[in-house]
Amino acid sequence: MGKEKLSFKAVHNSHSPKITVWWFFLVATCIKILLFPSYRSTDFEVHRNWLALTYSLPLYQWYFDETSPWTLDYPPFFAYFERFLSSFAHLIDPQIVHLQEGLNYSSNKVVYFQRVTVILSDLSLLYGVYRLTQNLDSRKQKLIWSLVIWSPMLFIVDHVHFQYNGFLIGILLISLSYLEEGRDLLGGFVFAVLLCFKHLFAVAAPVYFVYLLRHYCWGGIVRGFNRLLIMGGVVTAVFASAFGPFFHLGQIQQVIQRLFPFGRGLCHAYWAPNFWVFYIMSDKGLAFIFRKLGFNVQTPTASFTAGLVGDSSPFSVLPKITPFVTFIMVILALSPCLFKVWKNPQPQMISRWIAYAYTCGFLFGWHVHEKASLHFVIPLAIVAAQTLEDARHYFLLSIVSCYSIFPLLFETQEYPIKILLLLLHSILMWSGFSAQFYGGAETARVPTNSKKKADQFGSEDNSGAATKKGFVIGWIGGIYLIGLVVVEIWGQILHPLVLGDKFAFAPLMLISIYCAFGMMYSWIWQLISIVKSV
């Protein structure tokens, strides 16, 4: 009888993490359903049009169709995904997938259908984060699940603004989980699949290449060559299944042109808070000074933020930036990480390295969307539970990143939603990190290298002192976060009162510039952490 009770308890405990993570997903789903009536961006019509063109047109016309200005510009796997969804959309309402009559269609049926598809596709995120945390203790699991599954950025971008980032990032997390387990072939395979869904994830490809070459293929000429052939064959098979039909039709050049429209501007419509914000502002500042000094400095007519093909980066004083320049800068920023990956390819470091790669792409890349910060914020949630310094860094970064996408929701009725989501997220992070590093057994044995890291990065309080005070981020970080509140008060209240309609762009510019300082800090912090790692 005693053995039966013990066996039942063991079975119950073995299933409890799975049940718990489903509860996290259920709570998130309830919030997402409540957001159904909220604002929708043009991305909603983009994806509705992709449903229509993949359903209504033969495959050979997919990347040529221009019925709508929102042409297909994602890789074939995502197009196949849209084709799969379109079969269900047709059953619900045929007008959704009608190429002409469906343009700008926005009935409740299409809204609910597309919102539901995003929720269901988030199951990949659920599976990915569960796989990455299945060997961690319960406290760390729940902390990471709350950071990822309840991410306010994903709520805002995917379930209000409308995109499928959770689905795609879930695939990334699945790949990382295989790499952390030492199953490199599966990890490489899943990442190749991800690239065929969305090519912008290719920023991390150099890290994957170096890691897999060193960790999977290295070790003797025969063994290494055989494994290189196996990995190469797997990746080739994935890309062949995605692009093969279009290669057969002789349309690869057209597909590539759609995927990489380099004629677009250096920055997106709302400047992503990255390095180029400082470059552009420096150019404008120098132009202003030179004009005051009597120099004839022309004001460029083209826009940095052109969404369509045109003059890609007009400057008055500083050298013109081309896509090749941004590519070189990303590689240079990434090179210290690649060196560490080659020197010591540790599976437990892969999430940190991949997050750093996407940070480099965000800061120095071409035509970066502000939403791309999700690519490194979500993987860093896995890292955040490792040390106290990682938690402090993530606390600051996640708040700054979430605030930087506030301009995506510009309508008045959504303002309380984004404020409430960020506040709840901040409270959850604070309580979660406090429980992780200052509660129970964890506080009794803060890692010995935590004090070293605190000293290395200039943190005023070491681990012992912090234990008495609770979770703290330091006075510099606190002042910076208070500055976010000041920026928001200026943009929402003071600017309209003081300046009225004058300089209407200034509040957005201020958000971008201020958040860019936080992003640059995060990049430097991650770089130092990687360089100083063993």
pLDDT along the chain (534 residues), means of 10: 43 68 96 94 94 95 93 96 96 94 92 97 97 93 96 96 96 97 96 97 97 91 90 96 95 92 72 89 86 76 45 72 92 97 94 97 92 95 94 96 93 92 96 83 41 39 45 89 93 85 83 95 96 85
**Which token pair is 216?**
């999977």
Q: What is the pLDDT of residue 47?
A: 96
Write the CA distances from 434 to 302, 473, 493, 511, integer angstroms: 50, 11, 34, 29
- Contacts with 346 (C-beta within 8 Å, 6 or more apart), sequence order: none
Question: Whose CA is closest to 212, among 238, 178, 236, 171?
Answer: 178
Predicted TM-score (pTM) of the model is 0.89
The CA-CA-CA angle for residues 234, 235, 239, to 5°, reads 120
Q: What is the pLDDT of residue 296?
A: 78
Element (H, E) at 401: helix 388-404
Q: CA–CA separation, 381 vs 151, rounded Å?
A: 10
Element (H, E) at 180: helix 165-180
DSSP label of 479: H
Q: What is the pLDDT of residue 459?
A: 41
Coil, helix or strand at residue 86: helix
Q: What is the pLDDT of residue 269?
A: 62
Q: DSSP labels for 57-78?
A: S-GGGTTT--SSSS---S-HHH
Write the CA distances from 170 to 76, 129, 291, 409, 508, integer angstroms: 18, 7, 51, 24, 31
Phi-psi region of 264 (alpha: psi -120 to 50; beta: other; left: phi over 0): beta
Q: CA–CA separation, 497 vs 494, rounded Å?
A: 5
Burial class (CB in 10 A: 0-12, 13-18, 19+), 509: middle
Domain boundaries along the sequence of the chain:
16-199+228-248, 275-320, 384-532
DSSP label of 46: H
Q: What is the pLDDT of residue 494?
A: 86
Coil, helix or strand at residue 134: coil
Q: What is the pLDDT of residue 439?
A: 66
Q: What is the pLDDT of residue 367?
A: 86
Q: Quick check: 370 and 270 in contact, CB under 8 A?
A: yes
Per-residue pLDDT reduced to its tens digit, 398-421: 999 999 999 999 888 899 999 999
